[in-house]
Amino acid sequence: MTVHNIRHANTRHADSRHGDASDGAVGGRLSRVDGPAKITGAAKYAFEQQLDGLAHAVMVEATIAAGTVRAIDTRAAETAPGVLLVLTPDTIMEIKGASDWLGNPPTQKTYSPLARTVTYSGQHIAAVVAETFEQAVAAAALVEVSYEETPAIVDLSDAKAGDGIPIDAMTKEWGDAEAAFAAAPVRICAAYNTQREYQAAMEPHGLIARWQGEELTIWEPSQWLDGMARTYAEWFGVPFENVRLVSPYIGGGFGSKALALAHSAVAAASAKMLGRPVKLVLTRPQNFTSYGGRAATRQTVTIGAGRDGKIQSIVHRGVNETAVDGMWVEPLASVTSIMYATPNFSSKQNVVRVNTVVPGAKRAPGENPSAFGIECAIDELAYEVGIDPLEIRLRNYAEQDPEAKKAWSTRQLREAFAAGAERFGWSKRTPKPRSMRDGHQLIGWGVAAGTYPVRRAYGEAIVRILADGSVEVESSSIDMGQGTYTILAQTAAETVGVPADDVVVKLGDSRFPRAGVAGGSRLAGVMTGAVYKAATSALDQLVGLAISDPRSPFHALQANTLVVANGRITAPRGDGPDVSIAELLSSVGRSHIEATGDTMPANSSAEDRYKNYTTIATSVPHTEGDYSRHSWCAHFIEVRVDEDFGTVRVSRVVSALDSGRLYNPKLAESQWKGGIIMGIGQALLEEGIVDRRHGRIVNNNLADYLVPTNADIPDIEVISVGIPDLHSSVLGGKGVGELAIVGVAPAIANAVFHATGKRVRDLPITLEKLI
Ligand code: MCN
Ligand code: MOS
Q: What pLDDT, in 10s, does the model give residues 667-721?
A: 999 999 999 999 999 999 999 999 999 999 999 999 999 999 999 999 999 999 9
Task: Please report the pLDDT score of residue 20 as a whole number.
Answer: 59
d(CA 284, CA 303): 42
Q: What is the distance between the alpha carbons of residues 243 and 240, in angstroms, rounded to a whole number?
A: 6
Residue with CA at minimum distance from ligand 1 atom 20? 524
Name the pairing type of β-strands 297-305 and 144-149: unpaired
Query: Does residue 248 surpass a pLDDT of 90?
Result: yes
Asked about 214 being catalytic, the answer comes back as no
Distance of CA 130 to the CA centre of its chain: 34
CA of 452 to the centre of ligand 1 (A): 12
CA 688–ligand 1 middle distance (angstroms): 25
Q: For the segment 50-104, what is each residue's pLDDT rounded down to a tens digit? A: 999 999 999 999 999 999 999 999 999 999 999 999 999 999 999 999 999 999 9
Q: Which residues contact 432 (CB under 8 A, 6 or more apart)?
A: none
Question: Which amino acid is residue 382, in one-letter code?
Answer: A
Q: Residue 749 and residue 320: Cα distance in Å, rounded? A: 21
Q: Is 443 in the pocket of ligand 2 (CB under 6 A)?
A: no
Q: How confident is the model at residue 21 (pLDDT cuts 50, 70, 90)?
A: low
Is the minimum distance from the CB of 742 to ligand 2 under 6 angstroms? no
Say what angle helices 744-756 and 367-385 make with each other, to 10 degrees.
30
Give the C-alpha distances (Å, rounded to integers) separating 518 from 213, 507, 523, 735, 764: 30, 12, 5, 11, 28
Closest ligand 2 atom number to CA of residue 362? 2
Which ligand minimizes its atom distance to the CA of 671?
1
What is the number of the ligand closest to the CA of 250? 1
> For ligand 2, what atom is nearest to the CA of residue 255?
4
Least confident of 6-15, 271-280, 360-369, 646-655: 6-15
- SS3 state of residue 61: strand
Which residues face 509 on adjacent strands? 246
Prior bond to 764 cis, omega within 30? yes
Ligand 1 contact, 115 CB (< 6 A): no
| Closest residue CA from atom 38 of ligand 1 | 482
Does the CB atom of residue 292 touch ligand 2 within 6 A?
no
Q: Please report, for residues 98, 450, 576, 677, the alpha-carbon distance to residue 373 in angstroms, rounded to integers and kept in the order given.
A: 36, 12, 65, 20
Q: Is 365 in the pocket of ligand 2 (CB under 6 A)?
A: yes
512-to-259, 298, 475, 622 alpha-carbon distances in Å? 19, 43, 5, 28
Share of the chain above pLDDT 90, in %: 95
Helix (H) or strand (E) holding 284: helix 284-290
SS3 135: helix
pLDDT at position 184: 98
Mutate which of 454, 671, 736, 738 for ligand 2? The one with the most ligand atoms within 8 Å of its CB, which is 738
Closest atom, ligand 2, to C-alpha of 517: 4
pLDDT band at residue 2, thresholds of 50, 70 and 90?
very low
602 pLDDT band, cuts 50/70/90, is confident
The closest ligand to the CA of 294 turns out to be: 2
> For the chain, what is the radius of gyration of the CA atoms?
27
How far does the chain reach from its first CA to its final CA, in angstroms? 58
24 touches ligand 2 (CB under 6 Å):
no
3-class SS at 536? helix
Whole-number Å distance, alpha carbon 522 to ligand 2 midpoint, is 9
Q: Are 616 and 101 in contact (CB under 8 A)?
A: yes
Would the CB of 736 count as within 6 Å of ligand 1?
yes
Quick check: 434 and 756 in contact, CB under 8 A? yes
Residue 17 pLDDT: 42
SS3 673: helix
pLDDT tens digits, residue range 722-736?
A: 999 999 999 999 999
Q: Indicate the pLDDT class of residue 460, thresholds 50, 70 and 90.
A: very high
Residue type at position 463:
V
372-401 mean pLDDT: 98
Handedness of CA 11, 566, 591, 542 (dihedral sign): negative
162: left (phi over 0), alpha (psi -120 to 50) or beta: left
- Atom in ligand 2 nearest the alpha carbon of residue 253: 4
pLDDT of residue 1: 33
460 lines ligand 1 (CB under 6 A): no
Confidence (pLDDT) at 14? 38
* Local confidence band at 491 (pLDDT 50, 70, 90 cut-offs): very high
Contact at 8 Å (CB) between 18 and 28? yes
Q: Which atom of ligand 1 is nearest to the CA of 520?
A: 29
For CA atoms 610, 612, 615, 617, the dihedral sign is positive
319 forms beta bridges with: 298, 350
Q: How far is CA 41 from CA 31, 38, 44, 276, 480, in A?
A: 17, 5, 7, 27, 16
Q: What is the mean pLDDT of residues 491-510?
A: 98
Name beta bridge partners: 206.
281
Ligand in nearest proximity to the CA of 28 = 1
Q: What angle do CA 569, 574, 576 make, to 5 degrees?
A: 75
**What pLDDT score does 557 carry?**
87
Q: Which mutation among 32, 521, 661 tests ligand 1's pocket best, with the greatest number of atoms within 8 A of CB? A: 521
Can you tell me the mean pLDDT for 383-390?
Answer: 98
Residues 459 and 475: beta-carbon distance below 8 Å: yes
Read off the pLDDT of each residue in 502-517 and give the average, rounded to a whole number. 97
Identify any residues that bridge with 130 across adjacent strands, giving them in sequence order.
Answer: 56, 83
Chain Cα centroid distance, residue 564: 36
C-beta of 482 in contact with ligand 1 (< 6 A):
yes
Regarding the beta carbon of 362 and ligand 2, being less than 6 Å apart is answered yes
Locate the ligand 2 atom nearest the alpha carbon of residue 520 and give its number.
3
The tens digit of pLDDT for each residue in 538-594 reads: 999 999 999 999 999 999 888 889 999 999 999 988 888 999 999 999 999 999 999
Nearest in space to 115 (alpha carbons), one of 151, 150, 67: 67
What's the CA-to-centroid distance between 102 and ligand 2, angstroms? 15
Please tell me the pTM assigned to this model.
0.96
- 521 CA from centroid of ligand 2 (Å): 7
Q: At what angle do helices 744-756 and 665-684 cross, to 10 degrees?
A: 50
Measured in angstroms, how far is the CA atom of residue 328 from the centroid of ligand 1?
Answer: 23
* Residues 751, 638 contacting (CB under 8 angstroms): yes
Q: Which ligand is nearest to the CA of 368?
A: 2
Is the minimum distance from the CB of 671 to ligand 1 under 6 angstroms?
yes
| pLDDT, the chain, mean | 95
Amino acid letter at 340? Y
- As a whole number, mean pLDDT of residues 739-750 equals 99
Nearest residue (by CA) to ligand 2, atom 4, is 255
d(CA 674, CA 135): 39
CA-518 nearest atom, ligand 2: 4
Which stretch of DSSP H or E encloses residue 312?
A: strand 311-323
Amino acid at 504: V
The percent of residues above 70 in pLDDT, for the chain, comes to 97
**Residue 215 pLDDT greater than 90, yes or no:** yes
Instruction: Please give the single-letter amino acid code of residue 458.
Output: Y
What is the structure's pLDDT at 659? 98
* Å from CA of 255 to ligand 2 middle: 4
Alpha-carbon distance of 463 to 454, in angstroms, equals 26
In this prediction, residue 3 carries a pLDDT of: 36
Evaluate if residue 7 carries a pLDDT over 60.
no
User: Which one is catalytic: 134, 422, 738, 768?
Assistant: 738
Please give the Cα distance from 464 to 222 (Å, whole number): 25
Span 461-489, pLDDT tens digits: 999 999 999 999 999 999 999 999 999 99
Q: Which of 740, 730, 657 is CA-nearest to residue 412?
A: 657
- Give the start-end residues of each E strand in 643-750: 648-658, 690-691, 696-697, 716-720
The closest of 482, 560, 558, 395 to 733, measured between CA atoms, is 482
